[in-house]
Amino acid sequence: MAEGDMSRLRFEFDWQDPRGARGPEIRATWALLKIYVDDIAVTRIYDPLGRSHREAVFGPLYPLAEWIATHWWFLVSEVECPRTERHATYAERHSMLYAREGYALPDLEICPAGDETLLRWRSTRQYRSRVRFGESGSAVLDAEEVREALAGLVATVKRRLDGQGIEGTLLQEEWEAIDEADDEERDFCKRVGAMGLDPYALDDDRRALVLTIHESLPMSLAEDFFHLSDVDHLQPCRDFLLRVLEDIRHLDTPIPELIRLREEAPRIGVTPSRPWQQGCAFARDLRCLLGLNGQPLSDMEGIARSLRIEPGLLRRAMLDAKEPPLPIDGLQGPSPDGSPGFLIAGRSETSRRFTFCRSLFEYLTAPAPDSPTLISPARSDRQKRNRAFAAEFLAPAREIGHRLVGTTVDEEEIAELADGFGVSPWVVTYQIRNNELATVVPAYMD
């Protein structure tokens, strides 16, 4: 029996004799399970007893299905976000390793990012079950496809329980609550799940606070806000953002050049489909529109001149945030005449330029010019898009390729390239790897 045969994420299983297994839900769902991502069996194991490899594990499907149901809002809503306190426990809410309950399951992490979901799996040795999962890898899948595959497994296990007269399990109760939720309740659960919290365990005061905070923020900020915040600091973080937006509204820095550029700038299409590819393509089109060719933009003055803006004026449109109360890199918002203003966090000039370019992308591509947006370390579709734009706008891949002297590049060469473009070594490494310009190798010292 198999669920989701056409999906890139597939759960294939055959019900088995449970023999002496204890617990009705365990006996009812004992199976031989294979999990595939594309054609890779992430359940492939080495069994030391049989001294053999196989692509399936034996055990009950109930613990895995219950884990999916009780972690549903994390699996569909909680974007990875370094620099948040909850990042250290992210794997506990997203890796199937934590669904084992003494049985063998792979370390398969499910990481939502918006329209995409990242799946990554690691080789692990599980001592209680005496098996070793040997596969490691990653894949980016359509988020809806992943949700359907996960929901299909849960629904199948629930039907199995129902068919055998088993009632009152946590899985059945959780899945019924999820299935019966209306649109308003689902939106609320997604906001809470984005903070790494169980929406069904939230007390009334915190529930009311989440609703109040959401209603008081511009819609374009709300989703990113909950990715970054924790429930105990929602109000001061919200108040900080509202103060920043008010400060931007009072900036006396009209920049008609940016208003015109927004009108003339290319539009993001559906192809290429990957967020980072869309950001790169937009940067290349914008560079062409501005007549930049391969010209480096290694300082803020150069960026301003490329945009036909007087450098001093652009700097006056930027507010500083040395230590904001939530882990943001920046924010762009509207002033009364439609010009954007920018909050730029970070201490180094290199990181500030990079954040400005990410913010510029959000202004140029926002659905409306008065839509403020957050720039953050979150690994969401939006943030991947604006990071890719900034990397390509500041350090074009083609120009990096022209400066490479071989098929490999080490850390020292990357540092030299980064200095030439006025970006961090991370940006150059990102461009080289994503565009397959060369193989990055360690630097060796004599």
Does position 112 have pLDDT exceeding 60, yes or no? yes
Domain boundary among 348, 369, 392: 392
* 234 and 365 in a common domain: yes
> Residue 125 is inside which H or E element, if any?
strand 124-126
Q: Is the peptide bond before 311 cis (omega within 30 degrees of 0)?
A: no
Its domain, for residue 425, covers 395-446
Per-residue pLDDT reduced to its tens digit, 286-300: 999 999 988 889 999
Can you tell me the mean pLDDT for 321-340?
Answer: 91
* 401 and 387 in a common domain: no
pLDDT band, residue 94 (cuts 50/70/90): very high
Does position 5 have pLDDT exceeding 80, yes or no? no
Report yes or no on 198 lying in a domain.
no
Q: First and final CA of the chain: distance in angstroms? A: 59
Q: Where are the alpha helices (DSSP H) in 79-165?
A: 90-94, 143-163
Report yes or no on 441 lying in a domain.
yes
Instruction: Please tell me the predicted confidence (pLDDT) of residue 128.
Output: 65
Report yes or no on 207 lying in a domain.
no
* 405 and 282 in a common domain: no
**Contact in structure between 398 and 294 (CB atoms under 8 Å):** yes
Per-residue pLDDT reduced to its tens digit, 236-279: 999 999 999 999 999 989 999 999 999 999 888 777 789 999 99
Per-residue pLDDT reduced to its tens digit, 403-420: 998 899 999 999 999 999
Instruction: Please tell me the predicted confidence (pLDDT) of residue 1.
Output: 44
Rounded (10°) CA dihedral 250, 255, 259, 264: -160
Backbone φ and ψ for 363, nearest 5 degrees, come out as: -65, -45
Does position 126 have pLDDT exceeding 90, yes or no? no
* 339 and 428 in a common domain: no
* 440 and 375 in a common domain: no
* 142 and 96 in a common domain: yes
Report yes or no on 227 lying in a domain.
yes
Q: Percent of the chain having pLDDT more than 90?
A: 83
Report yes or no on 364 lying in a domain.
yes
Can you tell me the mean pLDDT for 332-358?
Answer: 93
Q: What is the average pLDDT value for the chain, to the nearest integer?
A: 93
Domain boundary among 353, 370, 392: 392
CA distance 158 to 140: 28
Does position 446 have pLDDT exceeding 70, yes or no? no
Q: What is the pTM of this model?
A: 0.92
Three-state DSSP at 92 gives: helix
**E-only strand ranges, 16-123:** 30-37, 40-41, 45-47, 52-54, 57-60, 107-112, 116-122
**Contact in structure between 142 and 6 (CB atoms under 8 Å):** no
Domain count, the chain: 3
Number of H helices, E strands in the chain: 19, 18
CA distance 67 to 150: 11
